[in-house]
């Protein structure tokens, strides 16, 4: 979409003229831009870069995730202005990239509040995406079943079919799945999860949490969200100290379950990037002797 077509498109849906357009980073199957309007509003536009119907549907799924997150989570996220198979328009959230201890504590308080939004079943009423990859959310009453079938096995099998994960390692994932009942609690609460909680999706401004972007939502055990936040060191001791004051973290999380839960985002990264992430999966499997 050229600048003139983009300006006409934005005016049609907002009634305002575009003053300037600048590229933004991110986006798995779309170009991402920020548009400053003459009425002072700022928008983010994601425009599809493919002609693939399956990938183009991702913008509609992202819009559905954002709408759900906005109406169910206490944490701010972009508001969807318009969505179709080729273009997603949403509000822009300013971010100064200053992840201070105060921001970490603010995130802990708001995420603990979000994790108290619960469901009777694990999963969601629609399938979602993580990093542009399909994320099935078939409802299950058992967290172990959901995590095993719709997270670990699903992602490992696809990684193997795509030639990213050796067959021997996919078989080790299957054997680990057979032991999950011995490694995870049999009673879990289905909490609303952002689903892709890493630093690039956490926005802060003026020493406060400004919002979360790019959700990969579903209802799951909150520990998988906390684990993901440690994978790249994005959640700090300040975060965990405050979160634990509100929603206590059960013993064994840092020592064992964190690594087990991070097997899922690592399998996602294997599919997206391959390389050393395969070694990280192997390391966790070896730790659990599979």
What is the reported pLDDT for 9?
A: 84
The third-level CATH classification (topology) of the domain covering 101-287 is Aminoglycoside 3'-phosphotransferase; Chain: A, domain 2 (3.90.1200)
What is the reported pLDDT for 67?
A: 98
Count other C-beta atoms under 10 Å from residue 231's C-beta: 18
What is the reported pLDDT for 81?
A: 94
pLDDT at 57 over 50: yes
Q: How far is the C-alpha of 68 from the C-alpha of 63, rounded, in Å?
A: 9
Q: How far is the C-alpha of 256 from the C-alpha of 278, rounded, in Å?
A: 20
What is the reported pLDDT for 53?
A: 46
- Compute the mean pLDDT over every residue in the chain, rounded to the nearest whole number: 93
Q: How far is the C-alpha of 160 from the C-alpha of 169, rounded, in Å?
A: 9
pLDDT at 30 over 80: no
pLDDT digits (tens, 9 = 90+) for 161-218: 999 999 999 999 999 999 999 999 888 999 999 999 999 999 999 999 999 999 999 9
Give the chain as a 3 state SS string.
CCHHHHHHHHHHHHCCCEEEEEECCCCCCEEEEEEEECCCCEEEEEEECCCCHHHHHHHHHHHHHHHHHHHHCCCCCCCEEEECCCEEEEECCCCCCCCCHHHHHHHHHHHHHHCCCEECCEECCCCEEECCEEECCCCECCHHHHHHHHHHHHHHHHHHHCCCCCHHHHHHHHHHHCCHHHHCCCCCCEEEECCCCCHHHEEEECCEEEEECCCCCEEECHHHHHHHHHHCCCCCHHHHHHHHHHCCCCCCHHHHHHHHHHHHHHHHHHHHHCCHHHHHHHHHHHHCCC
What is the reported pLDDT for 55?
A: 53
Least confident stretch, 44-48, 76-80, 194-198, 219-223: 44-48
pLDDT mean over 80-93: 94
Q: How far is the C-alpha of 66 from the C-alpha of 147, rounded, in Å?
A: 23
Q: Is 178 a catalytic residue?
A: no
pLDDT at 52 over 60: no
The active-site residue out of 56, 106, 196, 234 is 196
The residues that bridge with 278 in the sheet, in sequence order, are none
Domain ranges in the chain?
3-91, 101-287
pLDDT mean over 6-33: 82
The length of the chain, given as a count of residues: 290
What is the reported pLDDT for 29?
A: 53
pLDDT mean over 145-149: 98
Q: Is the pTM of this model over 0.85?
A: yes
Least confident stretch, 2-6, 119-123, 142-146: 2-6
Share of the chain above pLDDT 90, in %: 83
The residue ranking higher by pLDDT, 263 or 20, is: 263
Indicate the pLDDT class of residue 59, thresholds 50, 70 and 90: very high
- Domain 3-91 sits in CATH 3.30.200.20: yes
């Amino acid at each position: 979409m050229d600048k003139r077509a983009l300006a006409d498109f934005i005016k049609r849906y907002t009634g305002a003229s575009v003053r300037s357009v600048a590229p933004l980073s991110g986006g798995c199957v779309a170009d991402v831009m920020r548009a400053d309007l003459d009425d002072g509003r700022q928008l983010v536009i994601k425009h599809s870069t493919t002609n693939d119907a399956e990938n183009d549907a991702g913008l509609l799924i992202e819009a559905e995730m954002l709408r759900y997150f906005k109406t169910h989570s206490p944490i701010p996220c972009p508001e969807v202005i318009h969505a179709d198979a080729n273009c997603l328009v949403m509000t822009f959230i300013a971010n100064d990239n200053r992840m201070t201890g105060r921001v970490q504590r603010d995130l802990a308080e708001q995420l603990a509040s979000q994790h108290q939004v619960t469901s009777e079943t694990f999963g969601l009423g629609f399938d979602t995406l993580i990093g542009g990859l399909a994320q099935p959310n078939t409802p299950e009453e058992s967290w172990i079943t959901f995590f095993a079938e719709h997270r670990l096995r699903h992602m490992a099998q696809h990684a193997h079919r795509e030639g990213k994960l050796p067959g021997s390692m996919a078989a080790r994932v299957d054997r680990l799945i057979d032991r999950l009942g011995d490694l995870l609690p049999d009673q879990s609460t289905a909490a609303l999860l952002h689903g892709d909680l890493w630093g690039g999706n956490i926005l802060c401004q003026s020493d406060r949490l400004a919002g979360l972007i790019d959700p990969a939502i579903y209802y799951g055990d909150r520990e998988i969200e906390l684990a993901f936040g440690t994978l790249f060191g994005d959640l700090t001791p300040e975060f965990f100290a405050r979160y634990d004051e509100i929603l206590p973290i059960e013993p064994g999380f840092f020592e064992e379950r964190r690594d087990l839960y991070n097997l899922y985002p690592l399998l996602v990264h294997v599919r997206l990037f391959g390389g050393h992430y395969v070694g990280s999966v192997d390391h966790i499997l070896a730790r659990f002797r599979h």
